Structure 1
Amino acid sequence: VGENPAAVDTAGVSVTGLRFAAVAITGVLCGLAGAYMATALQAGFGREMTAGRGYIALAALIFAKWRPVAALWACLLFGFFQALALRPDVVEAVVRVKVPVPFLDALPYILTVIVLAGFIGKAIPPRAGGEPYVKER
């Protein structure tokens, strides 16, 4: 629907219904993510609990050039670098050098800046993304 909603409408699929379903699914997934962040990631809901993860998610989307499977792999890559900060002993065993924990904490954000610097002009968003669709009569 993001590239050509008129083609979807011509095929007999409701553009409004499809977009509504996509927003509803997104809301459910965001609710689950928020519940996970408030319960499993930290002790409870608090200020700055996202710690810039939305910025990283947007960078993963741009890095994946708006393709769902590529976005999954990009999120796994960023998640891997976030997981490294939780296990500095494993990182030190692999690289055989003492790595400062603040550097490991900053690694996902450093990777985000590098990815955005390299891909920001090359990733083209869907043409009709964010534009209302008015059905022709």
Structure 2
Amino acid sequence: MATEAFEEIVSDFDFLEDWEDRYRYVIDYGRRMDPLDDALKVPATKVDGCASQVWLHPQIEAGRFRFDGDSDAMIVRGLIAVLRALYNGLPVGEVTRVDAQAELARLGLDAHLSAQRSNGVRAMIGRIRGIATEAA
């Protein structure tokens, strides 16, 4: 059920054998993401449960889910970009059907993130699913 953008990340990861290179890839992926406007970095968009500052700004357009996000930590910003690749563009009703943990496991991220980062990713996924549920 992964998007084409996420499948590209999976394909790229297959070519990167070293985890240092994979971390750099995630960080660079996040750097290419447009920054979230400071006006959107408000308590309503802040994700609790993350060690870093994280903001997610969802939008539903023509029945399709998308979100923008930002973080004060480069690796987390990259993880937000990976989640955007996983979810952006899906019909809002399909967002909750995505097994994000399984999809991220395809990248091996589940085994290579610290406990705090893993908790933060789960918090972001929970926020995304909650928003999609409310919108559906």
Q: TM-score, normalised by structure 2?
A: 0.26
Larger Rg belongs to: 1
Q: Point out which structure has higher relative CO (alpha carbons under 8 A, 6+ apart).
A: 1
The structure carrying a bigger strand percent of its residues is 2
Q: TM-score, normalised by structure 1?
A: 0.26
